[in-house]
């Protein structure tokens, strides 16, 4: 067998792509099995078993409870490729024969990511790569506590001498056929907050002797839009969104309290404290203006996801050489716990476009109708291969 160390980078790329192409029928079948029988965050053990069985590279090591890391290759510095195991608590409405029939759905493309990683892993095992691949099958990407953060804390990446980690995510905001390989920040830091406004309850017909926390909370939600539009550097940007509001038990009663929950997102980790201080200030002052008191509790989320510039440049070059159209500017205020890996090793997250030219209002991520085509497995595998080769050339080559 020809050794991969004897191949030039382009030759190795061609050899790996050919081997992946041979694995695609098997990968598509795996994708359909996973899609038909999804598992939500924290309950991914069955999915892990199926993926490890199909990968056929040994049992690996348990990771973050229901996850697994599987090494493909010998000892020495490795490149990690990550895919997510969990689905979402959504009832599927796609109508395909292999649709989920339960209350969970792979509505974020994780089934495609897993199938692509398996295709790459099996191809690498077949040709015998000299730089090992660590397949990171990660649980709990969609919920807290973060599976990525748990894997980082476990020391598994250091134990396997991981020098770089690569992932690819489907993205319907990009055209079909385009892969975004953007250097620097690509996903926002996100923190959750809960606002509680306390007032004085009473009869709805006598508002003058009550202090209405619902009214104060509603004005607070409106005022929070100042965080992004008037109180934050527009060059850096911020997004403050309220997704839940609760208060009251009857239409004719002014309640004692009202609450709201939301997220704040920024593109620099140093801005997280700034945004939190602004939110506290707005809540305190707005509630006081209505004779109420307000308080805020923050739950820290994911840090900013920052792509290594050299990895991004290298992967873009490999993709372009393979005839793939690349984009170097795409960023979003979405969040991904892949950012935790980037804090301990060089990381690269790429985005694989799925939107057809006539997409219009086609279903997007986390939608009951989201169903990327099977050909996206090959596109995602192309991105993972490009990232792997970039890591070899920019991280592991003396």
Look up the CATH number of the domain holding residue 100: 3.40.630.10
Which among 369, 377, 296 is positioned nearest to 111, based on CA atoms?
377
Tell whether 370 and 227 lie within a shared domain: no
pLDDT of 231: 80
Q: What is the mean pLDDT of each run of 10 residues along the chain (398 residues)?
A: 53 94 98 98 98 97 98 95 98 97 97 98 96 98 95 97 98 96 97 97 95 97 90 85 96 97 95 94 97 97 97 97 96 95 97 83 91 97 98 80
Tell whether 26 and 157 lie within a shared domain: yes
pLDDT of 9: 65
Look up the CATH number of the domain holding residue 198: 3.30.70.360
Tell whether 182 and 194 lie within a shared domain: no
pLDDT of 214: 97
Tell whether 204 and 81 lie within a shared domain: no
Domain of 329, in residue numbers: 4-187+304-396
pLDDT of 362: 81
Tell whether 162 and 266 lie within a shared domain: no
Q: How far apart are CA 192 and CA 188, in angstroms?
A: 13
Among 299, 317, 348, the domain-final residue is: 299
pLDDT of 11: 86
Tell whether 183 and 193 lie within a shared domain: no
Tell whether 137 and 253 lie within a shared domain: no
Among 241, 270, 299, the domain-final residue is: 299
> CB-based contacts of 126: which residues, under 8 Å, 6+ apart?
19
Tell whether 42 and 72 lie within a shared domain: yes
As for how many domains the chain has, the answer is 2
pLDDT of 1: 40
What six digits make up the tokens of 203?
């009869």
Tell whether 119 and 163 lie within a shared domain: yes
Question: Are 210 and 392 in contact, with CB atoms under 8 Å apart?
Answer: no
Among 238, 272, 299, the domain-final residue is: 299
pLDDT of 359: 64
Question: Are 338 and 349 in contact, with CB atoms under 8 Å apart?
Answer: yes
Tell whether 389 and 317 lie within a shared domain: yes
If residue 109 lies in a helix (H) or strand (E), which one and from where to where? none
> CB-based contacts of 111: which residues, under 8 Å, 6+ apart?
31, 34, 35, 38, 87
pLDDT of 228: 84
Tell whether 71 and 181 lie within a shared domain: yes
If residue 280 lies in a helix (H) or strand (E), which one and from where to where? helix 271-289
Tell whether 181 and 317 lie within a shared domain: yes
φ and ψ at residue 349, rounded to 5 degrees:
-110, 125
CA 5 remoteness from chain centre: 33
């Amino acid at each position: 067998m020809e050794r991969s160390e004897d191949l030039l980078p382009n030759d190795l790329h061609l050899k790996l792509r050919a081997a992946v192409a041979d694995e695609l029928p098997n990968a598509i079948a795996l994708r359909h099995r996973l899609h038909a029988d999804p598992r939500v965050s924290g309950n991914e053990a069955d999915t892990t078993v199926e993926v490890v069985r199909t990968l056929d590279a040994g049992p690996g090591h348990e990771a973050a409870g229901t996850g697994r890391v599987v090494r493909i290759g010998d000892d020495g510095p490795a490149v990690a490729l990550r895919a997510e195991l969990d689905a979402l608590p959504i009832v599927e409405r796609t109508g395909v024969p292999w649709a989920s029939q339960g209350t969970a759905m792979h509505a974020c493309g994780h089934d495609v990511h897993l199938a692509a990683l398996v295709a790459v892993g099996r191809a690498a095992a077949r040709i015998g790569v000299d730089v090992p691949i660590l397949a990171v099958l990660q649980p709990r990407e969609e919920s807290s506590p973060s599976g990525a953060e748990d894997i980082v804390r476990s020391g598994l990446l250091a134990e396997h001498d991981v020098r770089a980690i690569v992932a690819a995510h489907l993205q319907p905001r990009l055209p079909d056929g385009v892969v975004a390989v953007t250097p620097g920040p690509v996903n926002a830091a996100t923190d959750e907050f809960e606002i509680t406004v306390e007032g004085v309850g009473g009869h709805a017909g006598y508002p003058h002797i009550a202090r209405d926390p619902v009214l104060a909370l509603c004005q607070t939600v409106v005022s929070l839009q100042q965080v992004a539009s008037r109180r934050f550097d527009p060059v850096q940007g911020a997004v403050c969104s309220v997704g839940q509001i609760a208060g009251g038990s009857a239409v004719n009663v002014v309640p004692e309290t009202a609450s709201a929950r939301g997220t704040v997102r920024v593109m620099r980790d140093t801005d997280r404290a700034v945004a939190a201080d602004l939110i506290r200030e707005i809540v305190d002052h707005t509630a006081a203006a209505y004779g109420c008191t307000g308080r805020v509790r923050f739950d820290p989320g994911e840090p900013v996801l920052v792509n290594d510039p050299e990895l991004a440049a290298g992967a873009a070059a490999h993709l372009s050489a393979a005839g793939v159209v690349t984009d170097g500017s795409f960023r979003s205020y979405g969040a991904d716990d892949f950012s935790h890996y980037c804090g301990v090793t060089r990381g690269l997250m790429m985005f694989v476009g799925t939107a057809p030219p006539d997409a219009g209002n086609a279903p997007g991520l986390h939608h009951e109708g989201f169903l990327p085509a099977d050909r996206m497995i090959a596109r995602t595998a192309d991105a993972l291969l490009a990232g792997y080769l970039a890591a070899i050339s920019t991280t592991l080559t003396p």
